Amino acid sequence: MTLSNRRSNERRWRTDPPEPLERRAERRREDRRSSFRAVRRVTVVEAPDGVVREFSANLSLEGAQFIAPAALISSQVEVRLQLPEMEELRMPGQVTRMDPVGRATAIHVRFDALDVRTELALARMLDAEAGAPRSAL
């Protein structure tokens, strides 16, 4: 193919996409997250004021997400979780995002580096809930 033939090739100047832009298949129904989430009651302590509030949160090894009636004042928080078999887990973290949800605010927290004992206890709790039947939760 000569250079002049390549320039006149129609494929370079097509305006219509080769396939429709809409998705052909339905969205995947399974969860695409890398780790399991568990819903648990947690206590959130804002630093440095020490304001304490309780929320129902989605927990993972990386962080937590919960709905609060208003935005948090501080970006530094400590998420506390009471496990039945041991003392309270204290997981310091950073607020990474706050999204309005109606009149409330969805707050996303990424945990700072957790100590090995805390991370293992959290992982065991998540594994136990991942193996439990959904109807039991």
Domain segments of the chain as ranges = 33-131
Task: Look up the CATH architecture of domain 33-131.
Answer: Beta Barrel (2.40)
DSSP three-state, residue 116: helix
Question: What are the structure tokens assigned to 31, written together?
Answer: 């969860």
Per-residue pLDDT of the chain (137 residues; tens, 9 = 90+): 555 665 555 556 666 655 555 554 444 444 444 566 789 999 999 988 889 999 999 999 999 999 999 998 899 999 999 987 778 999 999 999 999 999 999 999 999 999 999 999 999 988 888 776 554 44
DSSP-derived letter for residue 25 is S
The separation between CA 36 and the C-alpha centre of its own chain, rounded to angstroms, equals: 10
pLDDT of amino acid 86? 75
pLDDT of amino acid 85? 76
pLDDT of amino acid 3? 58
The candidate with the shortest Cα–Cα distance to 92, out of 35, 25, 46, is 46
pLDDT of amino acid 6? 58
